Amino acid sequence: MSDLRDLYQEVILDHGKAPRNFGHPSGANRTAHGHNAMCGDTIDVFLTVDGEGRIADAAFEGQGCAISVASASMMTEMLKGKTQADAHHLFEAMHALCTGHEDEADLANLDEDTADRMQILAGVRQYPMRVKCATLAWHTMDKAMNHTAKQDVSV
């Protein structure tokens, strides 16, 4: 049970229950659809990238477990104001953390709050069957970021 409290921390339960940035902003100009074939979770990520290449707005819609919804919700909060390169860096760090390659996750350049939140999400690495729940939103975001036409992602 104590292990489970690490996975289902207050912040995860909170974001899972009341996700932030949930919806489809009309100005979104980068979007991708993500799908986890194993469990049926789906997500649409909507990014609004401004003229200087910064993420002015990030939002999502979708259905999934507490981990996947919380991960998407926390991700959208972290993305606002980031450049495309920053966003890709976050994706790589998240992926490394969740797959047990902490040494490859370059967290040094991240602010403390972002690094802490990523570590909380990465608690999922103790549950290999659930890693994709946490990473689906991030894969989808990374794909959206790199294309102006709508993308499909399967994990």
**Which residues contact another protein (rule: CB under 8 A)?**
1, 3-5, 7-8, 13, 17, 38-42, 63-67, 127, 129-130, 133
- Continuous segment of H or E residues that includes residue 152: strand 151-154
Q: Which is nearer to another protein, 60 or 79 (CB)?
A: 60
Using the minimum distance from each CB to another protein, give the nearer residue, 68 or 76. Answer: 68
Shortest distance, position 119 Cβ to another protein, whole Å:
19
The crossing angle, in degrees rounded to 10, of helices 131-145 and 84-98 is 160
Min dist CB 128 to another protein, Å, is: 11
Cβ pair 21, 58 in contact under 8 A: yes
| Residue 9 amino acid letter | Q
Shortest Å, Cβ 63 to another protein: 5
State the minimum distance, in angstroms, from the CB of residue 50 to another protein.
34
Instruction: Taking each helix axis as running N to C, give the angle between helix 10-17 and helix 66-79, from 0 to 180 degrees, rounded to the nearest 10.
Output: 90
